Amino acid sequence: MNAETTTMNEQAVREPVLREVEMHLYRPNAPTTGTITRSERCTASGKAAGCVRHIEIDVSGTDLAGRCVPGQSIGVLAPGQDEKGRPHAVRLYSLASPTAGEDGKGQVISTTVKRTIDEHWDNHTLFLGVASNYLCDLQEGDKVQLTGPAGKRFVLPRDVDEHDYLFFATGTGIAPFRGMILDLIAAGCKSRITLIMGVPYATDLLYHSELLSIAEEHPNFSYITAISREQQEDVNDRLYVQDRLRTHKDQLLPQLSDERNLIYICGIAGMELGIFRQLARDLPPRDIEQYLRVDGEAMANIDAWDRKMLHKQIKTTRRIFLEVYA
Ligand code: A2P
């Protein structure tokens, strides 16, 4: 059977070999201590509606030093107790730092934290996220109890030059990709690296000037934004990340069709469905099959896809990496 007559289900998927990482060096019953060395707003403008902070933590002298890689999380133990009188459960935060850390020596790690501020749904009193507000309140020199690192599936491949990368982020979902992009650049990787970053307003873009300057210096890195509540600079429309597959078709479809390409998705739950739907609409069947396994009935009605169909009628191959949160 030649390539032309191979049916979709018989196609081989070029699976990546992931880098090996260390995990659970510290657990919640025996955490370690880090020291805050920097905390700064990392939105593109101080006028952004939400408060998101880039927080750096010195972990020198602990086993975390040099052992935290982008795509992994660290756990934070907020002091105090929950309403039932138990110590607060550990909260996981994605690392934003590259493997070499913020200091180039792996001694200073970082994360990207959005303050959770909301109303209780039942009585409309103020709800403040425990760990996010604790972390954002910390000052330089303050100590913080840490666990981790956690996670081994959402990381870069071992041989970074073997693949191209299409990263989709919304909001603080940018954290792992900032670290990964810095790792790829530091490794001298010449692969195609594309980041599509979605936020409500342009003022909310995170690490914006850093990403712009990486794009300026490295022609293989392309930084595309999707602003959901304002008109973009280039199109007269409000956009979600998946809409960039349409507006940047000429650039993105060849990258997606290349068997080297990997897709990483991180951010708000639901974004993955929109991306999968757009891939199913835009790619030729042979290419869809490299990322998604969709049963025949579902394929016939892409508009009817919903999240309940994920892992059942719609499955991902090992060329898609997914980390989404409610
Ligand atoms: P919107 O809230 O305008 O609908 P943040 O975490 O800073 O709130 O950003 C999340 C971004 O992801 C926002 O621009 C938000 O748009 C967008 N978003 C919300 N739901 C989806 C979805 N299902 N697919 C893609 N993007 C989404």
Q: How far apart are CA 14 and CA 149, in angstroms?
A: 28
For the entire predicted model, the pTM comes to 0.95
Helix (H) or strand (E) holding 244, with range, is: helix 244-247
Mutational pocket test of ligand 1: of 117, 168, 228, the residue with most ligand atoms within 8 Å of the beta carbon: 228
* Domain presence at residue 16: no
Please give the structure tokens belonging to residue 243.
């809409």
Question: Ligand 1 centre from 300 Cα, in Å?
Answer: 27
Looking at the structure, tell me whether residues 129 and 174 fall in a common domain: no
In a domain, 214, yes or no: yes
In a domain, 36, yes or no: yes
Tokens of 109: 């790690």
| CB within 8 Å of 91: residues ≥ 6 apart | 75, 76, 78, 130, 131, 132
d(Cα 48, Cα 124) in Å, to the nearest integer? 24
Each residue's pLDDT tens digit, 119-132: 998 999 999 999 99
Secondary structure of 214-236 in the HEC alphabet? HHHHCCCEEEEEEECCCCCCCCC
- Give me ligand 1 centre to Cα 169, in Å: 10
CB 188 within 8 A of CB 221: no
pLDDT for the residue numbered 11: 63
Do residue 157 and residue 146 come from a single domain? no
Instruction: Examine the domain organization and report whether 318 and 213 are in the same domain.
Output: yes
How far is the centre of ligand 1, averaged over its atoms, from the C-alpha of 242 (Å)? 11
Atom from ligand 1 closest to the CA of residue 200: 14
CATH code, domain carrying 49: 2.40.30.10
| 173 and 103 together in one domain | no
A 10 A CB-CB count for 218 gives 16
DSSP state of 310: B
Q: What is the pLDDT of residues 281-326, one digit of tens each?
A: 999 999 999 999 999 999 999 999 999 999 999 999 999 999 999 8
Print the domain residue range for 101: 32-150
Query: Is there a contact between 202 and 227 (Cβ–Cβ < 8 Å)?
Result: yes
d(C-alpha 137, C-alpha 144), whole Å: 12
User: For residue 182, what is the domain's CATH number?
Assistant: 3.40.50.80
Domain boundary among 150, 169, 195: 150
- Tell the residue nearest (CA) to atom 11 of ligand 1: 199
Domain count of the chain?
2
What residues in the chain have per-residue pLDDT under 50? Answer: 1-10
Which of 125, 150, 175 terminates a domain? The answer is 150
213 and 311 housed in the same domain: yes
Q: Is 312 helix (H, G, I), strand (E, B) or coil?
A: coil
Pocket, ligand 1, Cβ cutoff 6 A: 50, 170-171, 198-200, 204, 228-229, 240-241, 268, 270-271, 274
Instruction: Based on the fold, state whether residues 231 and 319 are members of the same structural domain.
Output: yes
124 and 204 assigned to the same domain? no
Let me know whether 51 and 108 are in one domain: yes
Structural contact between residues 52 and 133, judged by C-beta atoms closer than 8 angstroms: no
Predicted pLDDT at 4: 38
Residues 268 and 240 in one domain: yes
Query: Do 275 and 242 touch, CB atoms closer than 8 A?
Result: yes
- Please say which residue of 130, 150, 170 terminates a domain: 150
